[in-house]
A and B are shown apart, each in its own frame.
Chain A
């Protein structure tokens, strides 16, 4: 039988056709599976292939002072980013632009790590790129298609260093913060508040980032810039109680090169008018690129400019704290303003086996509480403290709020150092490791007592207020309230205030007297372990109906009386306006001092370690 028999051939053709149908049937089923059953899934993958979701950063909300003057706003800036089509291409791309963009290998490693965590998101190479870098990279865009140059609002602080500590600054969110999820709604590359109001009110200021869908091809080239866009929402404008004119004035009159802090507040409402810390820094440096070296330089700079001395610094409260002793004693009816102490001041007093000196070696003589406040007599207050007893002294201190932070709406306010009870000393030195001599030290505001400037200003606001009630220091309107008050009768309060007026009119701050109105205040000289004494002056005016309370501390200023004229100028400026300053002020500088005290606890040290980007 030949192979080419018609019947045989027809049979094989049948088999051939069967194979044909089966093979095409299998192909059809494969296409059916992809195009009908898997259609939506592959459709989604096709979209994901070509659409990159680029965040459109929301401009942060403005920060304005009480008169609407802008303290922080936004200007256009350029951000350079890479949209990688392929994980393998990112290192090569970064390598190619690193010379132009000026990024080092540490930054590149950080960027690669960032990318490996969220490969769909763009990698920010350089924020606030200088114009020459932008134009140099723009030329490279043909060769490096994944390079993206975006407009991004850049934070600007018109008053720079003048309000740096209170306004704060911003910085890029870190890997750790993203990983821990402590800040809700933040994504890689976002900028968040790092300090001051920027940090305290970050949630309100940040706004809502928008999203732009950009179409890219397989090589990552942008084909359509905007397929779809969700516009960003700018953050809310933050209206503060600050008076930037006053703040600026404070920065001008603050002694050149000195370190310290000034807080100006309205005593009744607690509205903070100015909060200044010196030395300062320029927060604009944080707005864009901040390399490690600049950060280290700022963080480790002499005088620690990043440190907010008004709320983070803690100093021995010294003589201004004598008023707390006086309030306690008056409240417990141990004394009146006219009570004299058993031992008149002869320049010192022997207690136990130790001689406690008064700052005035000649001695104040036999004086009343009123005069003791006026002249800041240490010997009087030693004895008053002993009469109040250590327990009473500490109870009154806690009552007046010296154990707790002031509650101002700023981050990083540090709690004061203050013994909650005599047991504190047992814990610290052992039951027999201390003597009742600590009472004497505490009575003049030395010893185990460190207070922030804001907390002391809050106390003086209580003295200033008609009802003796404490305000809650605020930079921005809030709902929280404060219930503390002096607990004195109106007559006692008036007498205390008169004594404080006496301080300025003829006492230790006599040189700070002004003609236009009465100022009530108290100087202080804080002994400390780090060098010359710190000078304090806290005052309010007009004494009869206080509108402002100002507290100033100048580190290593030797005497509070040196600080008094500074505060007086600030008060004058606030109450009388700009022209007040043109009238010349005669300043006589009397002396005020404090005796040698127990060593200051190391809690007052300023060597708090600072970490770059987020503490």
Chain B
């Protein structure tokens, strides 16, 4: 078990440390603009958050899986309560000034409960799914898990915070997959979302519905299940227009400019264009640390949060991108490995949920900078400036370390 200890818990800690330090360096560079702004000194504040994050991680590390499992409903309830409070009394900030994502007391913004709610939901999912003996055989058995995710999903979506809502969906699918739900059922569960997307093009949608019908017959689910899935798909396509109208104009613009950034480079597609220019001009080796002109001259929007990875691309080039993407992929890889090796189902489900959360954040955030994903404004773990998400990530890593130590604890204590 000694080798396991090395490949699991111990590699997580240095990986996280390197990412934290590298992220801080990039954040420092993000503040180095020719005309100084509030971002200039922000790396110092991030340093404070990192310090707090270490404290939180150590604290989380002290929670045993059993205690955590027992506490899960309470944690979940508190996070939901915070989300409700946010919805009632929240304020906007930064690039999303029109939303209610922040809890503030006397004008001081304390944090974004949505970030912590992600971890709380993972814990609650782990308790529900980890406690099962058998994998969910059909859609109906997945419903409790679906409700656990649906509540925070709706509360976050109402803020509205589209990006975080997407993360909740990703966590649910990851957890159901890890719990052994049949892949065909997963696809069917995912299908309403795809139907919604395809509904933007009638022909595509018709093709999708026909294909789905064939898939339902081929995968042979229970009759009612198949009918319900098919019906939901159909409904999704039908109410597409209504849902679209529910979106805020800036969200519509973001989706549209994601689909075609050249539509109006001065307005909606501006951010994507500038990010691609920054990354593309970085070339193979980059413009050099702090030397990126797109960033220096403020062409790069939200260069310390949403578009921090564009700074990496501009200043370190493809070489830097490969190194940082490699580190981030390794982190998720190690988390999956821990999830697959731990002996306790709750711990396994928890760590896999964390892996899903991290992966979603990475793919959506980085994908956004190169125009592969819509601009949803979700942060990049360890890179983007932001206290709540930094604490969430540190806590998640602390928990993952604890879960891995739990399994290999004997060796750990013996050694």
Contacts and interface: CB of A to CB of B under 8 A. Distances in A.
A39 B280 contact: yes
B24 interface: no
A34, A36, A215 — most chain B CB neighbours (10 Å): A34
A49 B329 CA distance: 33
Contacts of B359: 20, 23
A27 B299 contact: no
Interface stretch (A4-12, A194-202, A237-245, A383-391): A4-12
Interface string B250-281: 00000000000000001000000010111111
B297 A35 contact: no
Interface string B309-328: 00001000110011001001
B337 A41 contact: no
A50 interface: yes
Interface stretch (A98-106, A216-224, A251-259, A590-598): A216-224
A216 B298 CA distance: 10
B138 interface: no
B318 A32 contact: yes
B116 interface: no
B148 interface: no
B336 A46 contact: no
B236 to A, nearest CB: 24
A216 B177 CA distance: 51
A50 B348 CA distance: 51
A17 B372 contact: no
B140 to A, nearest CB: 16
A332 B322 CA distance: 101
Chain B contact patch, size range: 35 or more
B336 A35 contact: no
A218 B298 contact: yes
Contacts of B318: 31-32, 35-36
A181 to B, nearest CB: 29
A13 B336 contact: yes
Given A9-B348, A20-B329, A221-B35, A34 B280 contact: yes
Interface string B355-370: 1000100010011001
Contact of B298 (A3, A21, A88, A217): A217
A332 to B, nearest CB: 79
A28 B281 contact: no
A36 B277 CA distance: 12
A12 B340 contact: yes
Question: Majority SS of interface residues in chain A?
Answer: helix
Nearest to B179: A3
Interface string A207-219: 0000000011111
A219 B180 contact: no
B283 interface: yes
A387 to B, nearest CB: 82
A411 to B, nearest CB: 44
A42 interface: yes
B297 A28 contact: no
B277 A42 contact: yes
A534 B394 CA distance: 101
A8 B180 CA distance: 8
A176 B323 CA distance: 57
Interface stretch (B58-66, B127-135, B383-391): B127-135
Contacts of A49: 274, 277, 293-294, 297, 299
A356 B134 CA distance: 133
A16 B170 CA distance: 13
Interface in A232-290: none
Nearest to A27: B366
A43 B283 contact: yes
Interface in A141-161: none
Contact of A17 (B130, B180, B298, B336): B336
A26 B278 contact: no
A324 to B, nearest CB: 70
B34 interface: yes
Contacts of A16: 177-178, 336, 352, 355
A50 B299 contact: yes
Interface in B2-54: 33-35
Interface in B200-228: none
Given A9-B348, A34-B279, A3 B132 contact: yes
A11 B412 CA distance: 27
Interface in B157-190: 177-180
B12 to A, nearest CB: 16
B322 to A, nearest CB: 7
Given A217-B297, A218-B297, A35 B317 contact: yes
A42 B292 CA distance: 13
Contacts of B372: 26-27, 30
Contacts of A483: none
A16 to B, nearest CB: 5
B139 to A, nearest CB: 16
Interface string A565-596: 00000000000000000000000000000000
B339 interface: yes
A35 B299 contact: no
Contact of A31 (B277, B279, B299): B279
A91 interface: no
A1 interface: yes
A35 B367 contact: no
B345 A4 contact: yes
B339 A217 contact: no
B34 to A, nearest CB: 5
B332 A42 contact: no
B266 A38 contact: no
B348 A223 contact: no
A45 interface: yes
A236 to B, nearest CB: 40
B340 A10 contact: yes
A10 B322 CA distance: 27
Contacts of B371: 30
Contacts of A12: 177-178, 180, 340
Contacts of A39: 280-284
B70 interface: no
Contacts of B317: 35
A2 B367 contact: no
B231 interface: no
A442 to B, nearest CB: 70
Nearest to A10: B340
A461 B299 CA distance: 70
Contacts of A8: 180
A351 interface: no
A414 B321 CA distance: 73
Interface string B118-146: 00000000000010111100000000000
Contacts of B35: 217, 219, 221, 223
B244 interface: no
Contacts of A223: 34-35, 297
A13 B337 contact: yes
B281 A42 contact: yes
A24 interface: yes
A86 interface: yes
Contacts of B363: 23, 27
A411 B33 CA distance: 55
Interface string B374-395: 0000000000000000000000
| Pairs A-B, 9 closest by C-beta atoms | A42-B280, A13-B340, A217-B297, A46-B281, A3-B180, A3-B135, A218-B298, A30-B370, A39-B283
7 contacts: A13-B336, A34-B280, A34-B313, A35-B279, A217-B35, A218-B298, A219-B298
Interface of B: 33-35, 130, 132-135, 177-180, 266, 274, 276-284, 293-294, 296-299, 313, 317-318, 321-322, 325, 328-329, 332-333, 336-337, 339-340, 345, 348, 352, 355, 359, 363, 366-367, 370-372
Given A24-B329, A34-B279, A217-B299, 17 more contacts: A3-B133, A20-B333, A21-B329, A23-B359, A24-B325, A27-B372, A31-B325, A34-B276, A35-B317, A35-B318, A36-B284, A39-B281, A43-B280, A49-B274, A49-B297, A50-B299, A217-B296
